[in-house]
């Protein structure tokens, strides 16, 4: 098998001692990020980009990119493990993909089975992580070869599909989500136009020539916006933390949760591959599916272990699945993967079909490191779960100002100017007001990352067709993408008109 | 959801859309060999934004106004911290990293919860010096040092 050979080379990269260290710190910080209610995976990853950029500054560009993406991805899937801890012990999810875990997990904790719930979610996450990585390993080559056959018109439509999918599921109002997407695309046009070399909307401001820095905007909108929200809305911290108790699940627990874990992993993986549908949706769907399949549906909501095992497997499976469109096609399907993509672009590594040919070290090193990271997470989460339970008690008093200070340090360390710091604070304010009023910020960041690529592909396609816009419909592949994109926007709209409630993806 | 906010937001987005359309037309048409210039993408998006913000404005008219719920946001605490952050950013280069970070953290900790001065000063001191030392001396990065 060709893929196995590549994967082995990847392990060669991932097993280098500094990359092992990076993966370890990634998953460790990720677990903490998942546990802390103030920061989610998106702000966690955004905050760490500047820090990894400094840590890897001594390495050559290829291995620097590989090492930092190993750490950042570790934060991403590590947060999926950590998120369950607060759901179970405190009934407050650390991040949105663990919301359903709280339904049965907290009930189990009240019955004194918190340890079993925690360990089963760690086991479920581990199985799902491995399942989704196997899928990623097998699908990576064929998918990237397929994507290589796409021309600019197909790419344009595919990226449009990605944006539609994220906007369609991003919030309560599709109008608002679309406004945020278009605003993100417009912001992406600021700076030097890469095709003609003309500067646009720069007004002789030297900082604007290179465009708005993606990192600054992302850290401001997510991390600072979240901190400002916590300060303003006075998050109440009531509720006592349940005792962890016996950690190992009983044989009965294992028997009851084996099938849900397998189903949750597969479901999560396939939902994760779809753009726009991230970990939150995956956990919701798998919970609903388990309740339907169960012989005793009345036990759900009262401490059924299947109600913990399935969604926790699903959200980790989805985070693995979400790497597929990112790595093979260069289309991030969610806010967090958009930030990962931005990080790769910062290192001049372009995610997409060519990634596996041009930067095999980065692509396969990352995949191999995710295998290692998942093993580390299992090892960390089973015995150390009591330690992480303590992290919950970190007082907000110290946490919030330090997050602001880290944001400012991070942006300054990479950009070296106060213009970006001012932009950071403005984005923080915007992030707070926009998300408070139900304007999702994830589509904006996604659009900011994809904007230049969408524009370049559109103009290359139009140049080839002499300005004839019908090229996007005459190519069958492109037409299919556009139709799916349109459906993605219109179906939730139709369902809402009929009064059906639509599950939205808050993780973005 | 807040009706007034949405109405203002729709007007602001409308203005942004118009701004981009008007300003795009000023971009020189210097794209040789192609009739697809650097202005077409922002103009198209600007028009789209105008249409969407009009749609949002119409939606706000139909929307029932909801009265604010829950506790009133804690503006006082937030404004102090935000003002401190603005000062932090403005003074970072003239005063150097360690002093500004230390002061910002002390203010931040104390505004969020008064008391515990020893712990406050210790944590702020450890963070500002720790980051500076590790970044500048170990990682060979560059941060504004101390005022001379």
Quote ipTM for the complex: 0.90
Does A201 contact B23 at a Cβ distance shorter than 8 Å? yes
pLDDT at A315 over 70: yes
The pLDDT assigned to B15 comes to 94
CB A46 within 8 A of CB A222: yes
Residue B121 predicted with pLDDT over 50:
yes
Cβ of residue A412 closer than 8 Å to a chain B Cβ? yes
H-assigned helices in A203-305: 214-218, 225-233, 251-273, 279-293
Residue A164 has pLDDT above 60, yes or no: yes
| Minimum CA–CA partner of B92 in chain A | A418
Statement to judge: residues B47 and B92 lie in one domain: no
Inside any domain, residue B35? yes
Q: Is residue B127 part of a domain?
A: yes
Q: Which two tokens stand for residue B28?
A: 């020189």
B144 occurs within a structural domain: no
**pLDDT over 50 (residue A508):** no
In a 3-state reduction of DSSP, which class is residue A490?
A: helix
Residues in A closer than 8 angstroms to B115, CB to CB, are: none
Which residues of A fall within a CB distance of 8 Å from B74? 231-234
Total structural domains within chain A: 1
Contact between chains at B123 and A409 (C-beta distance less than 8 A) = no
Whether residue B145 lies inside any domain: the answer is no
Q: What residues pair up with A191 in beta bridges, in sequence order?
A: A200
- The whole-number pLDDT of residue A94 equals 66
Does residue A474 belong to the interface with chain B, where contact is any CB pair within 8 Å? Answer: no
In Å, how far is B1's CA from the nearest CA of chain A?
A: 5
To the nearest whole number, what is the mean pLDDT of chain A?
84
Q: Please determine, for residue A235, whether its predicted confidence score (pLDDT) is greater than 80.
A: no
Residue A221 lies in a domain: yes
- Residue B86 shares a structural domain with residue B107: yes
Substitution target from B26, B41, B137 for chain A, most A beta carbons within 10 A: B41
In a domain, A502, yes or no: no
Calpha distance A90→A119 (Å, rounded): 16
- On the question of pLDDT at A120 being above 80, the answer is yes
Q: Does residue A497 carry a pLDDT above 80? A: no
pLDDT at B70: 53
How far apart CA A82 and CA A440 sit, in angstroms, is 24
Domain annotation covers residue A286: yes
Check whether residue B89 and residue B126 sit in a common domain.
Answer: yes
Flag whether pLDDT at A507 surpasses 80. no
Q: How many domains does chain B have?
A: 2
A79: nearest Cα among A329, A401, A335: A335
B16 and B52 both lie in a single domain: yes
Pair (B79, B134) in one structural domain: yes
- Indicate which of A226, A405, A412, A436 best probes the interface with B, i.e. most B CBs within 10 Å of its own CB: A405
Interface of A with B in 298-327 (CB under 8 A): none
Whether A399 contacts chain B with CB within 8 A: no
DSSP A220: I
Any domain includes A255: no
For the segment A415-440, the average pLDDT, to the nearest whole number, is 91
| Residue-number span of the structural domain to which B126 is assigned | 75-138
Query: In the prediction, which pLDDT does B148 show?
Result: 63
For residues A59-80, average pLDDT? 88
Domain check: are B47 and B83 in the same one? Answer: no
The reply to whether the predicted model has a pTM over 0.90 is: no
A75-89, A381-395, A474-488, B122-136: least confidently modelled range: A381-395
Closest-CA residue to A322 (of A395, A266, A269): A269
Cα separations in angstroms, B58 against A492, B45, B54, B61: 20, 20, 6, 5
Q: Do A234 and B71 touch (CB under 8 A)?
A: yes
Residue A243 resides in a domain: no
Domain for residue B18, yes or no? yes
The range of the structural domain enclosing residue A19 comes to 2-237+260-497
Q: Do B59 and A175 touch (CB under 8 A)?
A: yes
Give the pLDDT of residue B66.
56
Q: Are A319 and A78 in contact (CB under 8 A)?
A: no
Contact across the interface for A179 and B13, Cβ inside 8 Å: yes
A18 touches chain B (CB under 8 A): no
pLDDT mean over A243-259: 79
Count interface pairs A-B at CB distance under 8 A. Answer: 156
- Residue B68 in any domain: the answer is no
Query: If you average pLDDT over residues A219-233, what whole number do you get?
Result: 87
The mean pLDDT value for A156-185 works out to 85
Using pLDDT thresholds of 50, 70 and 90, give the confidence band for residue B85.
very high
pLDDT > 90? residue A223? no
Contact status of A234 with chain B (Cβ, < 8 Å): yes
Q: Does A409 touch chain B (CB under 8 A)?
A: yes
- What is the structure's pLDDT at A115? 84
Identify which of A198, A413, A455 has the shortest CB distance to residue B28.
A198
């Amino acid at each position: 098998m060709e893929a196995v050979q590549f994967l082995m080379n990847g392990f060669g990269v991932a097993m280098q001692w500094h990359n092992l260290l990076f993966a370890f710190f990634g998953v460790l910080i990720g677990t903490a990020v998942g546990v802390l209610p103030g920061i989610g995976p998106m702000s966690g990853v955004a905050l760490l980009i500047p820090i990894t950029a400094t840590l890897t500054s001594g390495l050559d560009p290829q291995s620097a990119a590989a090492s930092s993406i190993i750490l950042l991805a570790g934060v991403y899937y590590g947060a999926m493990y950590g998120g369950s801890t607060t759901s179970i012990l405190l009934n407050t999810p650390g991040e949105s993909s663990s919301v359903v875990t709280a339904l049965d997990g907290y009930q189990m904790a009240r019955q004194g089975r918190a340890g079993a719930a925690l360990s089963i979610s760690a086991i479920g996450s581990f199985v799902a992580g491995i399942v989704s990585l196997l899928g990623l390993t097998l699908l990576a080559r064929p998918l990237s070869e397929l994507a290589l056959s796409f021309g600019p018109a197909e790419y344009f439509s595919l990226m449009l599909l990605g944006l539609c999918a994220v906007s369609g599921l991003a919030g309560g109002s599709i109008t608002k989500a679309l406004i945020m997407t278009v605003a993100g695309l417009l912001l992406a046009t600021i700076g030097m136009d890469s095709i003609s070399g003309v500067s646009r909307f720069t007004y002789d401001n030297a900082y604007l020539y290179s465009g708005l820095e993606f990192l600054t905007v992302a850290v401001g909108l997510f991390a600072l916006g979240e901190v400002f929200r916590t300060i303003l809305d006075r998050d109440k911290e009531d509720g006592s933390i349940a005792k962890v108790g016996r950690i190992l699940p009983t044989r009965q627990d294992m028997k009851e949760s084996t099938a849900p874990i397998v189903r949750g992993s597969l479901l999560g993986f396939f939902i994760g591959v779809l753009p726009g549908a991230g970990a939150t949706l995956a956990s919701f769907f798998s919970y609903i599916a388990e309740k339907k399949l169960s012989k005793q549906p009345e036990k759900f909501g009262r401490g059924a272990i299947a109600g913990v095992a399935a969604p926790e497997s699903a959200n980790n499976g989805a985070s693995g699945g979400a790497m597929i469109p990112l790595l093979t096609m260069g289309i991030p399907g969610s806010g967090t993967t958009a930030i990962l993509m931005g990080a790769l672009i910062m290192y001049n590594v372009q995610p997409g079909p060519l990634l596996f040919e041009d930067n095999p070290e980065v692509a396969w090193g990352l995949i191999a490191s995710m295998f290692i990271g998942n093993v580390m997470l299992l090892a960390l989460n089973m015995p150390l779960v009591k330690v992480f339970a303590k992290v919950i008690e970190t007082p907000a008093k110290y946490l919030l100002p330090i997050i602001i200070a880290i944001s400012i340090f991070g942006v300054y360390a990479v950009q070296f100017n106060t213009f970006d710091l001012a932009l950071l604070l403005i984005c923080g304010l915007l992030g707070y007001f926009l998300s408070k009023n139900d304007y999702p910020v994830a589509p904006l960041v996604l659009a900011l990352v994809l904007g230049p690529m969408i524009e370049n592909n559109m103009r290359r396609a139009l140049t080839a067709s002499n300005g004839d816009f019908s090229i996007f419909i005459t190519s069958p592949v492109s037409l299919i993408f556009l139709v799916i994109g349109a459906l993605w926007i219109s179906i939730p709209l139709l369902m809402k008109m009929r009064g059906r409630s639509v599950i939205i993806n808050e993780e973005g | 959801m807040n009706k007034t906010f949405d109405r203002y937001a729709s007007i602001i987005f409308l203005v942004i859309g118009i701004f981009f359309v008007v300003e795009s037309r000023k971009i020189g048409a210097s794209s040789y060999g192609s009739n697809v210039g650097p202005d077409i993408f922002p103009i198209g998006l600007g028009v789209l934004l105008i249409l969407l913000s009009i749609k949002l404005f119409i939606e706000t008219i139909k929307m029932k106004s909801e009265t604010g719920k829950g506790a009133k946001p804690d503006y006082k605490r937030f404004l102090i911290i935000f003002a401190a952050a603005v000062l932090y950013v403005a003074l970072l280069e003239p005063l150097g990293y360690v002093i500004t970070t230390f002061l910002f953290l002390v203010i931040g900790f104390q505004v969020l919860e008064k008391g515990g001065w020893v712990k406050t000063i210790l944590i702020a001191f450890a963070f500002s010096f720790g980051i500076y030392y590790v970044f500048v001396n170990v990682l060979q990065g560059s941060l504004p040092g101390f005022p001379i």
